[in-house]
Structure formats: structure tokens, C-alpha cells
Amino acid sequence: MSGADSSSEPFERAVACVIPAKDEAARIAATVDAVHKIIGVDLVVVVDDGSTDGTAAAAERAGAVVVRHHTNRGKAAAMETGATAVAERDGARPRHLLFLDADLTDSATAATPLIEPVQSGRADMTIGTLPVQVRADGSKAGGHGFVVSLARAGIVEATGWAPEQPLSGQRCLTRAAFDAAVPLAAGFGVETALSIDLGRKGFRILEVPIDVRHRATGTDLRGQLHRGKQYLHVRRALAARSALPSTGGPSLRSLFPRKTTP
């Protein structure tokens, strides 16, 4: 998506990686280790969002700066807390912000391509598009695409741009772009809202393919409940921005397949 150029000169600045984390003790150290290998990243901040395991300790041992929420406040709050922690350590030239999920483990290094378009001034925010994710048993992850369809349709309604993966949480932003989007939309609506808010303000958004892997959800009850919550959050973010699709989009009922009788 193209918009107004927010600067006439390239951003040759360091990058801080912010990783929101909740109960990721088994994966966070590997993720932090991998991020430390990304050229350009000189600060890794893990926001422990009310974990009840050893997430914070594992992240600290891996060399991350750790900021803790004593209770779970959600991803958007963790992103804002992490960005504030970065700002406290910034000099005269604020770092760019790379946001990554906590469960990427070794694959986090593959997020590297998100940085160059922002550093060179070609984009104000990059969004990582991921390959098809699979579960441990080899089956395809995810649901039926209803939440993705809703988010995409809402972004089209608001900006005219149709992203490939509107829900991707792997993003790199300039500090100016991040500040323009604060306060962030709560819950799982944060990514959809980021694209709408920045797109409407003329910031340049670019999707970039990255070969990262995260823990995949399936079509079991737990996965369906997760997507139901995600749907409600995305719909709430769209409604708050007067960006609900004119067609109404998929219904919440469509997320849960009907039982069939023999």
C-alpha cells in the first residue's frame, strides 16, 4: 500500500525488537537468541504479560531486557509497554521497532527482510507474510479463513488496500508510525487496526515474505474458541473505526461448524 512519504531521507537507524510474551518459558530463550543474530537489531525487549511460568527468567538469561506486567493486559498493552522501554533507551535518533511473536524460536532470524524497507525509507511499516503453517502432526494449521476474510474486508473498506495476511503480528515500524497509531486497539484487533490507522494517515505499508514458523493452532475446540475471540476483537476494532465491511462479513456462527446427524 502506498501513501504520503513521511520523510525525504532514509532512516539509517538501529532497530529494537519488542517481543510480547505470555507463558512462553519453553520457547522464549530460543526466540531471543535468534533475534540477537538479526543484523541491525541492537536491543531486544521482552514484555512478560502476566506469565505464570519462567518466561521472564528465561528471557533474561538469553540476554533480553525484560519488562513485566504483573497481570495479563493483552498484546496491545505489551506492545506499548515494550515501545516505552525502548524509548527510555533511545538517543537522539529513535530506533525502529520490530515486533515479533514469542514462539518463533530459531526461525525468528528469518524476519530479517522486514527491516531493510524501513531502514531505507521505502516503507513506514512492513508486515511479514508467512508460509503455510503446519502442526506437529503435519496437518495444516488454522481454521477456515473467516477471521482473515473479515479483517481484510475491513481494511479494504477503510483504505482500499487488500493485504494478503492482515493478521500477521510480525511487523517493523518507524517510531513515527508507531506513535501515530497509539493508543493501539485492544486484544487481537491490534494488527487490523494498525493497518487501518496508518493507512488512513498516509503511511506506507509493505508486505514482505518471511520464512518464520510459530506454534500452530488447529481446528479442535481450543482452536475454535481462540478464533471466536479473535473474530470478536477484530470486529470491535473495525466497528470503532467505522470500517465494518458493507456486506457485513462472515458471521461468528460461521466459525463453528454445525454438527451433523448420522
The pLDDT tens digits for 90-135 are 988 999 999 999 999 999 999 999 999 999 999 999 999 998 755 5
Task: Label residue 121 left, alpha or beta by phi (over 0 means left) and psi (-120 to 50 means alpha).
Answer: left
Residue 3 has φ and ψ, to the nearest 5°, of: -150, -160
Strand ranges across the sheet with 65-69: 65-69, 41-49, 15-21, 96-99, 171-173, 125-129, 205-209
Question: pLDDT of 208-227, one tens digit each?
Answer: 999 998 776 655 556 566 67
**Residue 232, domain member (yes or no):** no
Listed ranges 48-62, 124-138, 233-247; the one with the highest mean pLDDT: 48-62
Sequence-distant (≥ 6) Cβ neighbours of residue 14 within 8 angstroms: 40, 41, 42, 43, 95, 96
Report pLDDT for 226. Answer: 62
Q: Which residues pair with 98 in a beta bridge?
A: 17, 172
Domain that holds residue 102: 15-136+169-216
Note whether 150 and 249 are within 8 A (CB): yes
Number of independent structural domains in the chain: 1
Q: Which residues pair with 18 in a beta bridge?
A: 45, 99
Please, what is the Cα angle at 23 between 63 and 144, to 5 degrees?
120
Which grid coordinates belong to 240? Answer: 470503532
Note whether 48 and 59 are within 8 A (CB): yes
**Residue 83, domain member (yes or no):** yes
Rounded to whole angstroms, the Cα distance separating 76 from 185 reads: 7
What are the residue ranges of helices labelled H in the chain? 28-35, 55-61, 75-89, 116-119, 146-159, 175-181, 190-200, 221-240
**Residue 237, domain member (yes or no):** no
Q: 15-21 and 41-49: which strand pairing?
A: parallel
Report pLDDT for 214. Answer: 79
**Residue 143, domain member (yes or no):** no
**Residue 236, domain member (yes or no):** no
In 3D space, the residue among 191, 167, 203 whose CA is nearest the CA of residue 11 turns out to be 203
Report pLDDT for 1. Answer: 59
Q: Which residues pair with 41 in a beta bridge?
A: 15
CATH of the domain at 205: 3.90.550.10
Residue 12 has pLDDT above 60, yes or no: yes
**Residue 120, domain member (yes or no):** yes
Residue 137 has pLDDT above 60, yes or no: no
pTM of this prediction?
0.85
Note whether 127 and 168 are within 8 A (CB): yes
Section 55-79 average pLDDT: 97
**Residue 5, domain member (yes or no):** no
Sequence-distant (≥ 6) Cβ neighbours of residue 174 within 8 angstroms: 6, 11, 96, 97, 118, 124, 125
Rounded to whole angstroms, the Cα distance separating 159 from 155 reads: 6
